[in-house]
Structure 1
Amino acid sequence: MKIGYRTIKTAIGTPVAIAIAQFLGLTNFVSAGILTMLCIQPSRKRSVLSAWDRFAACVLASILSFGFFEILGYNTIVLGIMLAFFIPLTVLLKITQGITTSSVIIINLYSAGHIDYVFLFNQFMLILVGIGIGLIVNLYMPSMDKQLREKQKKLETNFRIILYEIAAYIRDKNQTWDGKEITETEHILEETIELVERDRENHMLRSEHTYYDYFNMRAKQFDILKRMLPLVTKLPFKDPMSEEIANFFERLSEAVHPGNTAILFLKELNDLYTVFHDEDMPTSKEEFETRANLYRLLREMEDYLIIKKKFKKSDVVIKYKIKKTGST
């Protein structure tokens, strides 16, 4: 059984918070441990935001408890009235994450039967210790680079296979491919959404996030690949133009990597546009439909490459002109 980092942090932070509260001579010192447990979050950003919400809610709860209990009395009816007032107020102030944490403080104050400034200070120290320790242990977050690199490698492998299988189908209408890489790629992209978001939240001061940009780019390309699949099935068999496109897809499959050489393939695509426009005009409905599907496929291929071109600075420098009908 694998023990997660949040479990380890809880196991470390909870006894430390209780020990510090005991050392400081605070009453209800166990509450410090409970506050720490409630503050453990999956990312640094969530931890900081949660800590602020919980601190603000606990302070608000202490003030309201003092007012309600000391004026109206220590009974369950007053407790219910106070909660009915307190919870909507946290919603209004957008600190609802602190409701559970502040409930610990409210119960402590209610159980005391009398609140003075010394006891309020005691609760304030419990809040500082509990939330503070929770925030400190949450500052350490394991690197997700290894997981994200593995996802990246698998994703690129699948892209290579998909592009190669498209080329194979165009050449000889080979239908032996089961298409499992399509499903795998969808799952990989879904899994990376949470991982990348957590990694972004762990680097709050970083303005750019390479993995976020990378997987977002691949997700857009994958949508285009899925749109290409029905188009390639409509290409004519053993047609010179189809063979050129098959060769293009095969070369593209060999160049799937984190770098950016899209400009080279955009130049090749421009040449394919030239061949397309130099062909004779269609003379039948079937030829017209084939030509229309072919043009749509070229446009999809262009969009696929432009997405990669915009992803990062090109790894190659090349000067050429692209006709207006062929690219941007």
Structure 2
Amino acid sequence: MKIGSRTVKTAIGTPIAIVLAQLVGVTNFVSAGILTILCIQPSRKRSVLSAWHRFLACTLAIIFSFAFFETIGYNPIVVGLMLAFFIPATVVLKITPGIATSSVIILQLYGAGHISFRFIIEEFLLILVGVGTGLLLNLYMPSLDNKLKKQQMKLEQNFQIILKEIALYIRDKNKLWDGKELTETEELLREANDLVDRDRENHMLRNKHPYHDYFQMRAKQFELLQRMLPLVSRLPNTDSLSDKIASFFEGLSDAVHPGNTAVLFLEKLDELYKTFKQEPLPATNEEFETRANLFRLLHEIEDYLRLKKKFKASDVSSKRKNKKTGIKQ
């Protein structure tokens, strides 16, 4: 079983917070460990926001506790009454993530039976040690680049298989494919977008993420691939153009790549459009349906290629002189 970074940081931070709280003379030093556990977050941005929310909520909790306990009394009913006002106040101030942390402070103040100035100082020290330790530990975040790269490679492998299976079906109506790559791709895209969001939050001063546009582009391409499948499945027969289109999809499958040579495939696609115009008109309804679905298929793959062309600058210029070395798309 793999131990995550949050678990490691929690295991390290909790005893450190307790020791620090003891060193500064806080009475309820164990609570510093609880505050640290509550402050460990999955990203730097969330960590900073969490620390700020919890600090404000704890400060508000001290004010409310003093006002209610010292004015009305130290009674369980007063705790409930105070929470009835305190929680809506955190909602209004948009610091609700700090409710759990501030509850620790509230119960400590209630348990003390009397709120002195010295005790308030101790509580602030407790907050600073507990929240501060969690914040400092969360400044270290492991890089997600390797995970994102693996997601990218697996996603492109699935695209290759999907395009290859479309080619096989167009050519000889191969129905052996179970389509598991479709489900896998949906999950990969969801996971990749979550990783991108987390990694972007770890770089708070960076507005754009290098993988964000890439996975957005692949998600749109995947939608187009899903739209192509019903067209392919409705092909009642093959004709003279089927093999050429199948070969086009096979070439595209072999060339799925992070780079961009979409312009080469768009040129090949333009040749296929010209071939369509040169073909004699269909003689039967079946031939007409086949030709119509193939033509719609070309429009969908054109949109697929234009998404890639729009995504990044073309890599074609250095490869045009020797296309036979292999096209990567």
TM-score exceeds 0.5: yes
AA partner of residue 53 (structure 1): H
**CA distance in structure 2 between the partners assigned to 1:81 and 1:218 by the alignment:** 53
Structure 2: segments with no counterpart, 5+ residues:
319-329
Letter in structure 2 aligned against 1:11: A
Q: Residue 192 of structure 1 corresponds to which residue in structure 2? A: 192
Whether 1:44 and 2:44 are equivalent positions in the alignment is yes
Q: State, as a whole percentage, how many aligned pairs show the same letter.
A: 68
Which residue in 1 is equivalent to 2:245?
245
**Contact 2:237 / 2:287 at 8 angstroms: preserved in 1?**
no
Report deviation, 1:64.
1.0
Provide Cα deviations, 1:37-81, integer angstroms capped at 9, x if missing partner.
110111111111111111110011111111111111111121111
- C-alpha distance in structure 1 between counterparts of 2:307 and 2:210, whole Å: 15
Paired with 1:180 and 1:93, the residues of 2 have a C-alpha distance of 47
Q: Residue 149 of structure 1: CA displacement? A: 1.5
Partner amino acid, structure 1, of 2:146: K
AA partner of residue 176 (structure 1): L
Larger deviation: 188-197 or 102-111? Answer: 188-197
Which residues of 2 match residues 84-163 of structure 1 at below 5 A?
84-163=84-163
SS at match of 2:53: helix
Alpha-carbon offset, residue 282 of structure 1: 4.2
| Displacement of 1:210 | 2.0
Q: For residue 222 of structure 2, what is the aligned residue in structure 1?
A: 222
Shift of the alpha carbon at 1:106? Answer: 0.6
Deviations 1:75-96 (A, max 9, x none): 1121111111001111111111
TM norm structure 2: 0.91
* 1:54 is aligned to 2:28: no
| 1:321 alignment partner in structure 2 | none
Worse-matched range after superposition: 257-266 or 202-211 = 202-211
Q: In the aligned structure 2, how far is the partner of 1:224 from the partner of 1:92?
A: 44
CA distance in structure 1 between the aligned counterparts of 2:36 and 2:263, rounded to whole angstroms = 53
1:164 corresponds to which letter in structure 2? K
2:321: which partner in 1?
A: none
Taking structure 1 as the reference length, the TM-score comes to 0.91
Whether contact under 8 Å (2:32, 2:130) holds in the other structure is yes
Query: What are the superposed Cα offsets for residues 271-313 of structure 1, whole Å, 9 maximum, x if unpaired?
Result: 2222223334445443443333222211110111111112222
Q: Give the structure 1 partner of residue 316 of structure 2.
A: 316
Structure 1 residues 4-43: aligned runs within 5 Å: 4-43=4-43
Q: Deviations over 1:86-142 (max 9, x none)?
A: 011111111110000000111111111111222212111111111111001011111
Extract unaligned runs of 5+ from structure 1: 319-328
Letter in 2 for 1:91: V
| Equivalent residue pairs, number | 318
**Counterpart AA for 2:297:** L
2:291 equivalent in structure 1: 291
> In the alignment, residue 299 of structure 2 is paired with which amino acid?
R
The whole-number CA distance in structure 1 between the counterparts of 2:165 and 2:291 is 22
| Paired residues of 1:231 and 1:293 also in contact (CA < 8 A) | yes
Partner residue, 1:173: 173
Counterpart check, 1:232 vs 2:222: no
- Residue in 1 that maps onto 2:327: none
CA contact (8 A) 1:172 1:237 kept: no
Given that 1:161 and 1:253 are in contact with CA atoms closer than 8 Å, whether structure 2 keeps it comes out as: yes
CA distance in 2, matches of 1:153, 1:2: 22
Q: Distance in 2 between matches of 1:108 and 1:178?
A: 60
Determine the C-alpha separation between the residues in 2 that align with 1:263 and 1:314: 7
Distance in 2 (CA, whole Å) between partners of 1:177 and 1:113 is 71
- Secondary structure of the equivalent of 1:240? coil
CA distance in 2, matches of 1:170, 1:144: 39
| Paired AA for residue 298 in structure 2 | L
